[in-house]
Amino acid sequence: MAEIIVVTSGKGGVGKTTTSASIATGLAQRGKRVAVVDFDVGLRNLDLIMGCERRVVYDFVNVIQGECTLKQALIKDKRHENLFILAASQTRDKDALTVEGVEKVLNELKNDFDYVVCDSPAGIERGAHLAMYFADRAIVVVNPEVSSVRDSDRVLGIMASKSRRAEQGSEGISEHLLVTRYSPKRVAEGDMLSIADIEEILGLPILGIIPESELVLQSSNAGVPVILDDKAPAGQAYADAVARLLGEERPMRFVEIEKQGLIKRLFGG
């Protein structure tokens, strides 16, 4: 039976869909059978980052409304045969997602996959609530800034009180923090919250720290999850996060200011 992982945040634009794509891809690289589902009805982006936007025929809402089967709507990733994408609808209203419909689709996915990654819209609206409602585990994506951390605290409160696990009085959702766009230099200059600040405010373990990098945007625009670039610090950081998600111990990298070697200091390289 699959584990359902929701990737969520309180604030938009923090790298949630980029994270969903890289986490799903990283799990598939590890031999897991993975489905990644876009819950952001009306603002579909996951298929762009996964590089399959031209292959979308049916979407999540079509499956819920019985207009196609789940197998018809799932798109096989071009790079990993054990990774599948279920796109969101660009034309439907968010009310097209229902508790019963989402549960039916997730239950069907759980029978065929090891992991179901739910790419949640930002905030606390209907799509976001449904994405987290059935979750077993949550990855809360934050930028190292006060507004992002504060809004994520609100999302954590909703998961603690309004998830299915909370309603049933069972063990709560396992929660992790993933910090994106982190710059040790800007932290040292007082322009960003430190990792210690974020942990103190939210009280959650850090799953990963993704360094600030233009390559993340470039990869997204090219339809290639950044985790596939194993030479890039951001790609390496996402690979570390996937390893920790699977229970491995990895040191936290990219949290200190990189010391320049003698050649770089002399020639400004």
Question: Can you tell me which residue has the tokens 């070697």?
Answer: 261
Question: Can you tell me which residue has the tokens 């009306």?
Answer: 42
Per-block mean pLDDT, blocks of 10 residues, the chain (269 long): 93 93 98 97 90 95 95 97 95 82 97 97 85 96 93 90 92 95 94 93 93 91 94 96 97 83 55
- Residues 6+ away with beta carbon under 8 Å from 133: 99, 102, 162, 163, 164
In the chain, what is the greatest distance between 2 CA atoms, to the nearest angstrom? 66
Q: What phi, psi does 25 have (nearest 5°)?
A: -65, -40
pLDDT in tens, 91-118: 777 778 999 999 999 999 999 999 999 9
Question: What is the three-class DSSP state of 3?
Answer: strand
Please give the structure tokens belonging to residue 151: 């809004």
Question: Can you tell me which residue has the tokens 């949550």?
Answer: 138
Burial 156-176 (b: 16+ CB within 10 A, else e): bebbeeebebeeeeeeebebb
The pLDDT of residue 217 is 87
Separation CA 9–CA 121 (nearest Å): 8
16-29 vs 233-245: helix axis angle to the nearest 10? Answer: 70
C-beta separation of 5 from 135 below 8 A? yes
The structure's pTM equals 0.93
Separation CA 253–CA 236 (nearest Å): 9
The pLDDT of residue 257 is 83
Q: Is 202 left (phi over 0), alpha (psi -120 to 50) or beta?
A: alpha
The pLDDT of residue 252 is 94
Separation CA 5–CA 245 (nearest Å): 10
The pLDDT of residue 264 is 55
Question: What is the three-class DSSP state of 257?
Answer: coil
Q: How distant is the alpha carbon of residue 63 from its chain centre?
A: 22
